[in-house]
Chain A
């Protein structure tokens, strides 16, 4: 039957309920952002070893830093699922940028948002959401990293003020941050019971920030040491009610580990995609290298572990979005996915051979950056220990 002879009657029907799927749309938008804005600049940013202010501001203009916060407070009204999709997509382009993004969305602003007053929100939180101010989170000390209850940075009451003394290290965004959320001990010897978080603005007298450390990877994530010498902060900058520091910290640990896993998933994908592209165009002995079984084995290993990683990250995100706090599952996820990232980066160097050893190709960067994921968000040695201990409790 010719189409021209059709004589069906157009029917009046109620409008169908059609809406786009939010996670898919977010992935699509940030996939394109990464392809158009991040990947073309990634090598130059990495080599500059400087904080990527231009991209950071672009993310602010997209309200991407507000992903975890409600719309009526300047946020975007998203979820952990949406947050981790963005982290993953950005990490596919440049892990440094993704780490800086995650710091600003989560650790750098979480306690400021939940416990800061209106003036602090106006002064720091809203500009942070716009990418105009940079925030940092200071927990690690030269002698205490995973063992946070051993925090030695002290806060002593002095009338209406607090006086802070101590040293923090490996402070992500430290050299460029405008505001630091600092873990302090208010009751020496009390371990977790005296922990609290306080806001220290960069201009606070007595605060000194070291130059950026030279690091193996994530070159454009600037990290530094922070020395606090008789830094005086007003009482409202001590954020938490006494005795709740450990509980407050635990409230975001699952999210931090899941987010770190999402960074690993993005990096693993980048390594895998680079390997696939190369295997499909590289000839050796008259054949494309994709036709060699040992190359196929690398692909199978990477793709299988990436698939498992994706499911683990997705499950942890869904649990957090349902209000659960999957501490042990998020530790397993961070452990498995970041090992997958290191493994995928390693395998990518084998697929690309000599070209992965050249600084002109991004695979060397994936390999260096993957090591950052082994330590940030909990070392895998400590994580295995806590996972096992929890299981055997």
Chain B
């Protein structure tokens, strides 16, 4: 079975800060990581490949040259091959444009029986890439999947729909986006990681022309949406630290609550 995994390099959200003046992300010094849910998709792909046998796992990402790092990590987690789609012409792509490039790359690389991806990336939170790639490839799709079973050439999946669960049978070829509940991703192996950093690592690099795109079909030019402004919401919260003994602090707190007219006869309103 030919399995493709879509991964994305994203800023580590635990380290992100926003410039309060400009509203822009402060990316300097912020580590770039593999999108967390993509790690679960990769783990599922490696496990499925082992279960089915005679399978290959190819990891695909579109991004700047430094996105190579997520492919290196993916190879260290057991992927057989990695492909970086990088070109200045891809810059500024929205999810529509990105999905088109990813789908074309999968076709260029011989097509897939199964495409796995994280439900959504922590930087964009759109959850649009997986479904759009499935549409572009004309595949069946299941999103928000937390359980996958391979049975006789079909997948049985369980989708988490808020409070509800849904079980589906999915004929292949298909695309599945997964949530973190699916599995526990393993850590990369050091020997594979060091191999993946070498020149002979199985990483292919493709640009727009390799995939037969014209310049106006990709990147910002090929996008249907435009980002007009980014800003961080203003917080109206004010914090005051009370000092003193517990009794003094409790008395001060009571005073503040009374002053703010938050206390009624019987207690809090």
Contacts of A6 in B (CB 8 A): 215-216, 220-221
CA A342 – CA B38 in complex, angstroms?
Answer: 41
Whether B190 lies near A78 (C-beta < 8 A) is yes
Find A29's partner among B76, B210, B216, B223 (CB 8 Å cutoff): B76
CA A26 – CA B191 in complex, angstroms?
Answer: 10
Whether A20 lies near B191 (C-beta < 8 A) is no
**Chain-A contact segment, one of B53-61, B67-75, B172-180:** B67-75
| Closest Cβ neighbor of A19 among chain B residues | B197
Contacts of A82 in B (CB 8 A): 190, 194
- A9 beta carbon closer than 8 Å to chain B: yes
Contacts of B198 in A (CB 8 A): 19
Q: Which residues of A contact B (CB under 8 A)?
A: 3-13, 15-22, 24-26, 28-29, 31-33, 37, 58, 61-64, 66-67, 71, 75-78, 82, 86, 283
| Closest Cβ neighbor of B91 among chain A residues | A3
Contacts of B241 in A (CB 8 A): 283
Interface residues on B, range: 35 or more
| Closest Cβ neighbor of A16 among chain B residues | B205
Whether B187 lies near A13 (C-beta < 8 A) is no
B28-69 vs A, CB cutoff 8 Å, 1 = contact: the mask equals: 000101000000000000000000000000000000010011
Q: How many A-B residue pairs have CB under 8 A?
A: 120
List 4 additional A-B contacts (Cβ < 8 Å) besides A7-B215, A19-B199, A29-B76.
A15-B206, A29-B188, A63-B190, A283-B241
| Closest Cβ neighbor of B210 among chain A residues | A12
Find A3's partner among B87, B195, B206, B220 (CB 8 Å cutoff): B220
Interface members, chain B 170-217 (any A CB < 8 Å): 186-199, 201, 203-210, 213-216
> In the complex, what's the smallest C-beta–C-beta distance from A97 to chain B, in angstroms?
14
CA A37 – CA B68 in complex, angstroms?
Answer: 25
- B89 beta carbon closer than 8 Å to chain A: yes
| Closest Cβ neighbor of B207 among chain A residues | A13
> In the complex, what's the smallest C-beta–C-beta distance from B199 to chain A, in angstroms?
6
Whether A17 lies near B199 (C-beta < 8 A) is yes
Contacts of A86 in B (CB 8 A): 190
Known contacts being A10-B207, A10-B209, A61-B186, is A16 close to B194, with CB within 8 Å? no
Whether B214 lies near A9 (C-beta < 8 A) is yes
- B148 beta carbon closer than 8 Å to chain A: no
| Closest Cβ neighbor of A13 among chain B residues | B207
Whether B201 lies near A19 (C-beta < 8 A) is yes
| Closest Cβ neighbor of A4 among chain B residues | B221
Whether B190 lies near A20 (C-beta < 8 A) is no
- B11 beta carbon closer than 8 Å to chain A: no
Whether A29 lies near B194 (C-beta < 8 A) is no
CA A18 – CA B65 in complex, angstroms?
Answer: 7
Q: Which residues of B contact A (CB under 8 A)?
A: 31, 33, 65, 68-69, 72-73, 76, 84, 86-87, 89, 92, 186-199, 201, 203-210, 213-216, 218-221, 223, 241
CA A11 – CA B190 in complex, angstroms?
Answer: 37
| Closest Cβ neighbor of B204 among chain A residues | A15
Whether A66 lies near B65 (C-beta < 8 A) is no
Q: Can you give 17 contacting A-B residue pairs, CB < 8 Å?
A: A6-B220, A9-B214, A11-B209, A16-B86, A17-B199, A18-B68, A18-B203, A21-B197, A26-B194, A29-B190, A33-B187, A37-B187, A58-B187, A61-B187, A61-B189, A62-B188, A77-B191
Whether B213 lies near A10 (C-beta < 8 A) is yes
Contacts of A7 in B (CB 8 A): 215-216
Known contacts being A3-B220, A58-B187, is A20 close to B209, with CB within 8 Å? no
CA A66 – CA B69 in complex, angstroms?
Answer: 22
Whether B215 lies near A10 (C-beta < 8 A) is yes
Known contacts being A20-B196, A25-B69, A62-B190, is A3 close to B209, with CB within 8 Å? no
Contacts of B194 in A (CB 8 A): 22, 26, 76-78, 82
Contacts of B69 in A (CB 8 A): 20, 24-25, 28
Whether B186 lies near A29 (C-beta < 8 A) is no
Interface centre among B31, B191, B199, B207 (most CB of A within 10 A): B191
CA A61 – CA B31 in complex, angstroms?
Answer: 25
Contacts of B87 in A (CB 8 A): 10
Q: Which 9 A-B pairs have the closest CB atoms?
A: A3-B220, A76-B191, A20-B72, A22-B197, A8-B215, A10-B209, A15-B205, A76-B190, A10-B208
> In the complex, what's the smallest C-beta–C-beta distance from A81 to chain B, in angstroms?
11
> In the complex, what's the smallest C-beta–C-beta distance from A344 to chain B, in angstroms?
21
Whether A13 lies near B209 (C-beta < 8 A) is yes
> In the complex, what's the smallest C-beta–C-beta distance from A383 to chain B, in angstroms?
31
| Closest Cβ neighbor of B32 among chain A residues | A28
Contacts of A16 in B (CB 8 A): 65, 86, 205
Whether A20 lies near B68 (C-beta < 8 A) is yes
> In the complex, what's the smallest C-beta–C-beta distance from B256 to chain A, in angstroms?
16
CA A5 – CA B220 in complex, angstroms?
Answer: 10
> In the complex, what's the smallest C-beta–C-beta distance from B95 to chain A, in angstroms?
16
Find A75's partner among B84, B191, B195 (CB 8 Å cutoff): B191
Interface centre among A9, A12, A62 (most CB of B within 10 A): A62
> In the complex, what's the smallest C-beta–C-beta distance from B37 to chain A, in angstroms?
15
